């Protein structure tokens, strides 16, 4: 049964590390409770295991992040087992992730679709009254940057280092050099493609007028430098902050992850690969629902 599950994970395109992590966590659960993969398991068994990890007979308690990672592995495993008919009921139903002592939902903030639309309007309006810069040039550059953050999930360092040769418009893909020099390929959606085409065409015109642009291998430049620095991008983003919500490049990345989970019906592995997360536990943070998500779910209940 576990061999079939392993084949399923590999068939879904999960990375070798993710497959190994899932299998190790499932095997640890079975070992700790002296179970076989197809044994009848209840939610009470899961809760018992959680308590064992929180209050072990020997050694230190497991970190909440480790427990939540293991719970996510069991959700995946038993969800598959139910679909395959190996078990009748999913024992993970009703089992929620544990909260950390300092956990705060607001530590992960993202933009709603309405806020993003409002941001685009504010950018155009603010730049119309800017001084000392070409408002059209700045608007096109800043808009392209925002779209790359939100529709490709780039880190600010990745965006600053993005070169013209990293963009393949014909094949609709980006080559991203991430943390630890790890390279990943991110598909370019049609909406992002249009924005990039617009900016690159405008940039080509600017290269005829500005030597530092013509000499730059980077996609984005500043007024005087051939490369738009990380700090410069951060200041640019902060300058467009919404009322009551300070904008940061990482908030845009949070937005990408949150929107992608919704678009993929919570396919956490796809989002992990697109975002360039090394560990699936990092991506799982975005599964947490905001209060507005919960309110929308309640409103979606049948009405009689």
Q: Does residue 92 contact residue 79 with C-beta atoms inside 8 Å?
A: yes
CATH number, domain 2-103? 1.10.150.130
What does the pLDDT average to over 151-179? Answer: 94
Q: What whole-number distance in Å separates Cα of residue 278 and Cα of residue 18?
A: 9
Q: What whole-number distance in Å separates Cα of residue 75 and Cα of residue 61?
A: 22
CATH number, domain 113-287? 1.10.443.10
Name the segment(s) of the chain with CATH classification 1.10.443.10: 113-287
How many residues are present in the chain? 304
CA 11 to chain centre: 22
Specify the higher pLDDT residue, 75 or 298. 75
**Residue 105 pLDDT grade (very low, low, confident, very high; cuts 50, 70, 90):** very low
Q: Does residue 239 contact residue 232 with C-beta atoms inside 8 Å?
A: no
What does the pLDDT average to over 289-302? Answer: 59
Name the segment(s) of the chain with CATH classification 1.10.150.130: 2-103
Question: Which of 53-62, 124-133, 145-154, 209-218 has the weakest average pLDDT?
Answer: 124-133
pLDDT digit string (tens) for 224-235?
Answer: 899 999 999 999
Residue 135 reports pLDDT greater than 60: yes
Residue 191 reports pLDDT greater than 70: yes
Specify the higher pLDDT residue, 4 or 57. 4
pLDDT digit string (tens) for 238-254?
Answer: 988 877 778 999 999 99
HEC letters along 39-77? CCCCHHHHHHHHHHHHCCCCCCCCCHHHHHHHHHHHHHH
Q: Which pLDDT belongs to residue 295? A: 59
What does the pLDDT average to over 277-297? Answer: 66
pLDDT digit string (tens) for 7-19?
Answer: 988 887 777 888 8
Residue from 204, 201, 174 nearest 189 by CA:
174
Residue from 296, 299, 293 nearest 108 by CA:
293
């Amino acid at each position: 049964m576990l061999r079939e599950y392993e084949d399923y994970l590999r068939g879904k395109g999960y990375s070798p590390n993710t497959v190994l992590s899932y299998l190790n966590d499932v095997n640890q659960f079975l070992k700790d409770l002296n179970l076989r993969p197809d044994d009848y398991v209840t939610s009470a068994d899961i809760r018992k295991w959680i308590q064992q990890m929180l209050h072990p007979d020997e050694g230190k308690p497991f970190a909440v992040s480790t427990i939540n990672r293991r719970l996510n592995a069991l959700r995946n495993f038993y969800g598959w087992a139910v679909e395959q008919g190996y078990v009748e009921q999913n024992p993970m139903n009703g089992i929620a992730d544990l909260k950390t002592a300092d956990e705060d939902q607001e530590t992960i903030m993202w933009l709603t679709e309405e806020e993003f639309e409002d941001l685009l309007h504010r950018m155009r309006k603010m730049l119309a009254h800017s001084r000392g810069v070409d408002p059209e040039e700045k608007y096109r550059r800043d808009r392209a940057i925002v779209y790359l953050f939100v529709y490709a999930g780039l880190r600010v360092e990745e965006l600053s280092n993005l070169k013209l040769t990293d963009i393949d418009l014909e094949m609709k893909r980006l080559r991203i050099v991430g943390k630890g020099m790890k390279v990943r390929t991110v598909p370019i959606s049609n909406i992002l493609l249009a924005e990039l085409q617009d900016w690159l065409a405008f940039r080509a015109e600017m290269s005829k007028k500005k030597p530092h642009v013509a000499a730059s291998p980077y996609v984005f430049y500043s007024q005087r430098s051939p490369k738009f620095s990380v700090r410069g991008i951060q200041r640019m983003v902060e300058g467009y902050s919404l009322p009551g919500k300070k904008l940061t490049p990482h908030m845009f990345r949070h937005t990408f992850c949150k929107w992608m989970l919704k678009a993929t019906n919570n396919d956490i592995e796809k989002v992990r690969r697109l975002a360039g997360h090394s560990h699936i536990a990092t991506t799982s943070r975005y599964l947490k629902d905001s209060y507005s998500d919960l309110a929308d779910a309640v409103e979606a209940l049948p009405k009689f």
